[in-house]
Amino acid sequence: MKPKRHNPNMYKSGLENKFQEACKLRGWELPYEANKIKYVIPASNHTYTPDFTVTNNVYIETKGLWTGADRKESCVY
């Protein structure tokens, strides 16, 4: 099953699209999901893809409304 995308050309959500448009109004052209950040949870390797890259070490992740159930599912212990 293909993941649903708000904008099939690029963004996964309307918030990401609105954020990028707001950045463009300020003259900022931020790369979207341009980097993969590797991290380790004990006994397993993972990769994280931030939404926007500002500089080499500064990233922006946009998030919509999270319910209590969403937060519980996304917690890493």
pTM for the whole structure = 0.47
Q: Residue 52 above 90 pLDDT?
A: yes
Average pLDDT over the chain reads 79
pLDDT at 10: 79
8-12, 35-39, 50-54, 62-66: the lowest-pLDDT one: 8-12
Q: Residue 77 above 50 pLDDT?
A: no
Report the amino acid identity of residue 3. Answer: P
**Tokens matching residue 34:** 């341009």
Alpha-carbon distance of 8 to 3, in angstroms, equals 10
Q: Residue 76 above 60 pLDDT?
A: no
Contacts of 50 (CB under 8 A, 6+ apart): 33, 35, 37, 59, 60, 61
CB count within 10 Å of CB 45 equals 8
